[in-house]
Amino acid sequence: ITRLEMMPRSIPVMHALLLLAALCAPRFAYRAVHEHRLQLPKGKQVPVLLVGATADAESFIRESARSPSFAYRVVGIVATEGSMVGRNIHHVRVFGGLQDIPAILRKLKRRDDAPQRIIIADPYLEGDHIRMILELADKEGVAMARMPQLSDLTRGDRDKFDVRPIDVEDILGRPQTKLDLAAMKEVITNKAVLITGS
């Protein structure tokens, strides 16, 4: 009736700020808990070191933080590109390049966050690099695996993050050649063969 003559002019501003806080605070709180930005118990997740600061690595980290039942917890990332070193992906540090893997493992071990597995997250990593990482992992006593490529996922396969063992094809950098055993048998049957090399 009085056209709000007795109401202070600050009321609309205060009302807008309080309304904004009331609407946004529950959403932020939900996302903080859901994405595990708060210090929640780690559970029994296996600590892993990712190789490759890729989109697949980002999805892997996000899923590990989002789902308490996820099998793995990413403790560090190894970059395949120098420009990524020193950055963070979802609060996980990119420590260094491929040549720094032994130093990274020692650093994480001092933090009581020693990875139990090295997971290749870069589908385009060359066979020579995979072989080098495999030798380092074997020397350090750490298991090694890789994330599946899109071509590996079957129709209806919902578990994108089901890591797989390293295959011969990964080290060769090409599909494994299938031997023609019948032709080989024909070449050496009833013949003395000298094999050299390995």
Q: Which of 109-113, 140-144, 165-169 has the lowest mean pLDDT?
A: 165-169
Please name the residue that has the structure tokens 């494994």: 176
CB 113 within 8 A of CB 92: no
Tell me the per-residue pLDDT of 120-131, one tens digit each, with 9 for 90 and over.
Answer: 888 888 888 888
Residue 146 structure tokens: 């890789």
Please name the residue that has the structure tokens 């980002």: 58
Helix, strand, coil percent values for the chain (each to nearest 5): 40, 15, 45
| Confidence (pLDDT) at 156 | 46
| Confidence (pLDDT) at 160 | 55
pTM of the model: 0.60
Q: Is the pLDDT of residue 153 over 70?
A: no
| Confidence (pLDDT) at 170 | 54
Output DSSP code: residue 151: G
Parallel, antiparallel or unpaired: strands 88-89 and 92-96: antiparallel
Chain centroid, CA 88 distance in Å: 13
| Confidence (pLDDT) at 155 | 45
Sign of the CA dihedral running 58, 102, 150, 36: negative
CB 119 within 8 A of CB 51: yes
